[in-house]
A and B are shown apart, each in its own frame.
Chain A
Amino acid sequence: MESHVWVNCAVALLVLAALAAAWRLRRNVLWREAGRELWRRRPFALAIVGLYTLFALLDSVSWVDAAGAGVREPRSLLVRAFPADFQEASYSAPLADVEFYGGEPLTHPGAHWLGTDILGRDVFLQALRGARVALLVGGLTSLIAIPLALLFGVAAGYRGGWVDDVVVFVISILFAMPGLLLLIALIMALGRGPVQVCVALGVTGWVSFARLARGETLKLRELDYVQAARALGVSELRIVLRHVVPNLMHLVVITFVLTFSGLVLSEAVLSWLGLGIDGSWGQMIDQARDELSRDPIIWWNLTAASAALFGLILAVNLVGDAVRDVLDPRTLRERA
Chain B
Amino acid sequence: MLAYLVRRIAWGFATVLGVLLFLFLLFFMLATPDDIARRAVGEKAPQTVLDQWKANHGYDKPRMWNPESPADTMLFDHFRRMLTFDFGRSDADDTPISQRLRDGSGPSLAFTVPLFVLGLALGVGLSLFVAFFRDTYIDRATTVIAVLMMSVSTLLYIIGVQFLLGKLLRWFPISGFDPSPEVILRFLALPVIVGLLAGVGSDLRFYRTVFIEETSRDYVRTARAKGCGEGRIMTHHVLRNSLIPILTGVVMAIPFLFTGSLLLESFFGIPGLGAMTVDAINANDFSTLRVMVYIGSLLFIVGQIATDFSYTLADPRVRLG
Which of A's residues lie within 8 Å of B, judged by CB? Answer: 169-170, 172-178, 180-182, 184-186, 188-190, 261, 265, 268-269, 272-275, 282, 285-286, 288-289, 292, 302, 306, 309-310, 313-314, 317-318, 321
Additional A-B contact list (18), CB under 8 Å, known A178-B296, A274-B282:
A176-B300, A178-B256, A178-B300, A181-B293, A181-B296, A186-B26, A189-B27, A265-B153, A265-B154, A269-B153, A269-B263, A275-B281, A285-B156, A292-B163, A302-B156, A306-B156, A309-B156, A314-B151
Cβ–Cβ < 8 Å partners of A274 in chain B = 281-282
Q: How far is the CA of A174 from the CA of B282 in the complex (A)?
A: 24
Cβ–Cβ < 8 Å partners of B301 in chain A = 176
A-B contact pairs, 13 of them (CB 8 A): A169-B14, A173-B15, A177-B19, A177-B300, A180-B262, A188-B281, A188-B289, A189-B31, A268-B154, A269-B154, A306-B153, A310-B151, A314-B151
Q: Are the C-beta atoms of B256 and A292 separated by less than 8 Å?
A: no
Q: Is B22 an interface residue (CB 8 A)?
A: yes
Q: Are the C-beta atoms of A184 and B289 separated by less than 8 Å?
A: yes
Q: Are the C-beta atoms of B22 and A177 separated by less than 8 Å?
A: yes
Q: Are the C-beta atoms of A173 and B18 separated by less than 8 Å?
A: yes
CB of B242 to closest CB in A, whole Å: 19
Most buried by A among B153, B289, B290: B153
Q: Are the C-beta atoms of A181 and B277 separated by less than 8 Å?
A: yes
Number of interface residues of B (CB under 8 A): 42
Cβ–Cβ < 8 Å partners of A261 in chain B = 151
Q: Are the C-beta atoms of A318 and B26 separated by less than 8 Å?
A: no
Question: Among residues 64 to 115 in chain B, which have CB atoms less than 8 Å away from a CB atom of chain A?
Answer: none
Most buried by B among A181, A186, A272: A181
Q: How far is the CA of A261 from the CA of B18 in the complex (A)?
A: 30
Q: Is B243 an interface residue (CB 8 A)?
A: no
Q: How far is the CA of A321 from the CA of B148 in the complex (A)?
A: 13
CB of B206 to closest CB in A, whole Å: 13
Cβ–Cβ < 8 Å partners of A310 in chain B = 151-153, 156
Q: Are the C-beta atoms of A190 and B30 separated by less than 8 Å?
A: yes
CB of B183 to closest CB in A, whole Å: 23
Q: Are the C-beta atoms of B148 and A314 separated by less than 8 Å?
A: yes
Q: How far is the CA of A190 from the CA of B23 in the complex (A)?
A: 13
CB < 8 Å: which of B147, B263, B296 contacts A177? B296
Q: Are the C-beta atoms of B278 and A285 separated by less than 8 Å?
A: no
Cβ–Cβ < 8 Å partners of B278 in chain A = 273
CB of A21 to closest CB in B, whole Å: 27
Question: Among residues 11 to 65 in chain B, which have CB atoms less than 8 Å away from a CB atom of chain A?
Answer: 11, 14-16, 18-19, 22-23, 26-27, 30-31
